[in-house]
Structure 1
Amino acid sequence: MSRRVVIIAAGSRGDIQPCVALAQGLVARGDDVRLVASGRYAPMVGTAATAAARKDGGTGRGGMELAPLTADPTEILDSEAGQELLAGGRNPIRFLGGFRRILGPMAERLLAECLDACKGADLVLGPTLGLLPRHLGEYLGVPWALVHFQPSQPTGAFPHPFVPRSRALGPWGNRAGFLAVDQIAWQLSRPFINPWRRDVLGLPPLPLRGPMHDARRTGRPVLACFSPSVVPAPRDWPPYVHLTGYWFLDEPDWEPPPALAAFLDAGPPPVYVGFGSMRPEDPEATARVVRSALREAGVRGVVQSDPETSDDDVLAVRDVPHAWLFPRMAAVVHHGGAGTTAAGLRAGVPTVVCPFFGDQPYWGERVAALKAGPVPLPFRELTAPRLADAVRQAVRTPEMAERAAALGRHISAEDGVTRACEVLAKIA
């Protein structure tokens, strides 16, 4: 039986792509899916919807559409508040507090847009920030589930990605770190969530303790969309946490522009360097550091930049699908976003992570722990000599290349979208 599934996918490209991949899987099973995301990503959703319709063979059993949010993540990161957020590292108070300062003034508008997008929904999915799926599901009287892009379920096995120092206190400290992040997030979002519940949804305000305790007590389903090869499931995670594997959005029909194809054919595999939606405070200075590092490391490069800045040894590109590009690289250098890290690991090439903030340092540490790349190099510490040294390690360490290739094979054999769709099919 067809359902109307609403997926709240607020965030940057790395947050949107997995949700679009999941939407394609649900459409293939006959569901109608509405993605709630920035209008900036309308072309991505449109292309995916066309591909899903082509696979459907014209039966029209399911469909996909975008309910656009007016907030643009790129504009936010370019702003002064966005730059402060990027400088916050992995401190959970600064990170979540930064989100509150940015989203607070537009919260009323964004909540109204999410509510409008959920009309007629039979199932609501979304991230834990603000726990919007819970509020909307309660208001509509429909099931809801959470999506975790990084480990967010309490465990004694390892610390929360934002609170690495809690490991010094052992299993108790690790679990306490997860609960502390829950509380910080709730206390920062409570001032605008509770009035919205009361005045718009007609629901009672939630207590000081917040909604996560109740969600876990009742076994609300969680889809953890990362690979067990990268983050093995701890023994103390309950059955309602489903570690599905990554949700990859591929573009099999994509063809490279002639300049990119010619550059790749003209020499040995280059090294990719790009920082996704992250916005360095001084982009020109960053570009100089990157190019100097590539020259010092003695490698060719493909960099995320203005194509007009290309030269004989460095090709600058705009948006190129990572699924196509990364397997053709000798190594990849990026910010460590969950989606970009997943693409690099699946490609089976060594990864150099230069994290800015949030969970990015965590993914860099996982890459290093898996011996698929060197230790992460924080972006704020980026210099040409340090980046050159990391690149040399990545391209000249046979054991690292072998480990990256083996990990890539494991991840490629997983089918996270199918697993997630199977879980969602059982939610009534």
Structure 2
Amino acid sequence: MYGFSKEIVERPGYWPSSAHICGFWFLPMAWQFSCDKCRELFSGDFNSPFEGILCANHAGLEDFLMGSSYSSLPIFIGLSSIGSMGFLRNPKSFLMVIKAVIESTDYRFILFSSGYQPLDSAIRSVASSAVESSVEAPALSNDSTLLFNNRLFCLSGSIPYSWLFPKCAAAIHHAGSGSTAAALFAGTPQVACPFLLDQFYWAERLHWLGVAPEPLKRQHLIPDIDDAASVNKAADVLLGAIRSALSPEIKAQATVIAQRLASEDGIGEALRILKEKVLP
């Protein structure tokens, strides 16, 4: 059994009849909150009102997503476990690229650090420098911080992508299968920056499907050095990819794909096959 959708990856004709494509597999949303209080508040109803889903400690994220003072949705950016795998060698350069994009646009970003300590340390360092220079960078809770004129929301905890992505204008990620599937289901345009293994396949597939521009190379998101020339060059490429992702064509295609996936129940189909084929 394969946990992806036939709408995204066609079934090869040479596969035996015993091979089944079930649809994407997702954990229950409540399991994906790192915060126990948020998990307790979550009703389990995907269509429930947005307000009040998060606990008081994370109300800042709700405001950042849906606050009346903002005219556009934020852009998600997260690399999951890429940092712990050794690919995020210079977290400061990563933050400086995001800062450069922010300074040349009106975009806002939500950054998930996935608890990667060097990145969290770089975030705290930037926040401390901002405070020392009298530039406000408030710490919202133990695991969240606002940077760069309050236009970058940094979170070291986890929130379900299937809950978050529909509230984002686009999702920038490493093209892992989970991030890819969640953004496809949400109908969210994507920018992929693969680092290893199947990520390159998914990144190319997203571009082929028309829901993402051409994949970024890693130096376009995380330059090896944080000098101004390297950061600005990477920011220019990233900005171009974001603008492509937000084009009417890609946004429309992302919606079409999400509509095709809406009726699928990957876990349910897998259970059905197990009951019929394995546990008669």
User: Partner of 2:64 in structure 1?
Assistant: 263
**Runs of 5+ unmatched residues, structure 1:** 1-222
Alignment of 1:339-378 (within 5 A): 339-378=178-217
SS of the aligned residue for 2:191 comes to: strand
Cα distance in 2 between the residues matched to 1:393 and 1:297: 14
Partner deviation per Cα, 1:318-353 (whole Å, 9 max, x = no partner)? 212101110100000000001110011111010100
Distance in 1 (alpha carbons) for counterparts of 2:210 and 2:219? 23
User: How do 1:20-169 residues align onto structure 2 when only pairs under 5 Å count?
Assistant: none
1:427 to 2:265 alignment: no
- Aligned residue in 2 for 1:250: 28
Structure 1 residue identity aligned to 2:73? P
Show the counterpart of 1:334. Answer: 173
TM-score (norm 1): 0.46
Number of residue equivalences: 205
Name the residue aligned to 1:314: 152
Instruction: Tell me the residue number matched to 1:100.
Output: none
Deviations 1:191-223 (A, max 9, x none): xxxxxxxxxxxxxxxxxxxxxxxxxxxxxxxx1
Percentage identity across aligned positions? 34
Counterpart Cα distance in 1 of 2:90 and 2:146: 16
CA–CA distance in structure 1, aligned partners of residues 178 and 252 of structure 2: 22
Partner of 1:391: 242
SS in structure 1 opposite 2:95?
Answer: helix
- Provide Cα deviations, 1:240-261, integer angstroms capped at 9, x if missing partner: 1100000112326262321011
Deviation readout 1:284-316 (Å, 9 max, x if unpaired): 211211232244343111111452353421111
1:50 is aligned to: none
* Inter-partner Cα distance in structure 1 for 2:178 and 2:75: 18
What TM-score results when the alignment is normalised by the length of structure 2?
Answer: 0.69
The corresponding residue for 1:379 is: 218
User: 1 or 2 for the larger relative contact order (CA 8 Å, sep ≥6)?
Assistant: 2
Deviation at 1:368, TM superposition (A): 0.5
Residue in structure 2 matching 1:283, options 91, 97, 104: 91
Contact 2:145 2:153 in 1 (8 A): no
Q: 1:259 is aligned with what amino acid?
A: G
Specify whether residues 297 and 370 from structure 1 end up closer, same or farther in structure 2 by C-alpha distance, changes over 3 A only.
Answer: farther
Stretches of structure 2 that go unaligned for 5 or more consecutive residues are: 31-41, 44-52, 114-119, 121-143, 222-233
Where in structure 1 do 4 or more consecutive aligned residues deviate above 6 Å?
none
Q: How does 1:409-420 map to 2 (within 5 A)?
A: 409-420=259-270
Three-state SS of the structure 1 residue aligned to 2:249 is helix
Work out which of the two has the higher radius of gyration on C-alpha atoms and give 1 or 2. Answer: 1
Cα distance, 1:408 vs. partner?
1.1
Distance 1:285 1:384, change over 3 A: same
Given residue 408 of structure 1, which amino acid in structure 2 is its aligned partner?
A
Rounded Cα–Cα distance in structure 2 between residues aligned with 1:232 and 1:294: 38
Partners of 2:220 and 2:238 within 8 A in 1: no
Cα separation, 1, equivalents of 2:11 and 2:200:
20
Greater helix content: 1
Aligned counterpart, 1:225: 3
